[in-house]
Amino acid sequence: MSRLFSFYFSPLATTIMDELLDIVNDEDIVTGQEMRSTAHQLGLQHRGVHVFLFTPDGKLLVQKRNADRAASPSMLDCSVSEHVKAGESYLDAAMRGMKEEMGVDGVEVKPLVKFRMNYGINDNEVSMLYEGMVDPVKVKFDPTEIEEINYYSVEELQKMTQGYNTKFCGWFVELLNWYLGRPTKMNLDLQS
């Protein structure tokens, strides 16, 4: 029996919004720039960012990706997941993502880990994970990207990722595994 979390692209999904990305080597040094679509077609390594947003009572904001998303439609994902645009810092991308995806501004975040990982077919990234706190009342998610949001304790998520009934983005499972001290596919040999 296979796990229900995975990386996949839906051929029926809406087209990916194209944007210019920095192409980076394994040490996260910029070696060029390409459009997002080209980077994904050719498997060029680029940058990404994720944010875990916790409520004051310790629950993690989890988004369910919209069904017409190109990558991992209708799957559970971390609070924010973004590509880092060309010339943009990881922190700036995290702040942009929180505003675009969750409608929140000015959230203080701290970096947790920088890593390399294969996110799916031809999707190779150097990424940074941040953590911050959010007031659920202020969250106004973008319905074009996100179907719904929920809040879960880390313990609930740990149980959910070990079951077979919930569909998670593969990268979210790997981030949770790292956060929980479990084995992960994340390559952690990078310096922040």
> Between residues 109 and 119, which one has the greater pLDDT?
109
Q: pTM of the entire structure?
A: 0.88
Q: Give the model's pLDDT for residue 10.
A: 34
- Sign of CA pseudo-dihedral 51, 17, 3, 127: negative
User: pLDDT tens digits, residue range 54-89?
Assistant: 999 999 999 999 888 767 777 999 999 999 999 999
C-alpha–C-alpha distance, residues 22 and 45, integer Å: 9
Count the residues in the chain: 192
C-alpha–C-alpha distance, residues 97 and 78, integer Å: 12
> Between residues 191 and 86, which one has the greater pLDDT?
86
Domain range summary for the chain, segments of one domain joined by +: 20-179
Provide the token pair at 11. 């051929």
C-alpha–C-alpha distance, residues 98 and 142, integer Å: 10
Q: Give the model's pLDDT for residue 8.
A: 36
17-28 mean pLDDT: 93
H or E segment at 119?
A: strand 109-120
Q: Give the model's pLDDT for residue 162.
A: 82
CATH 3.90.650.10 fits 20-179, yes or no: no
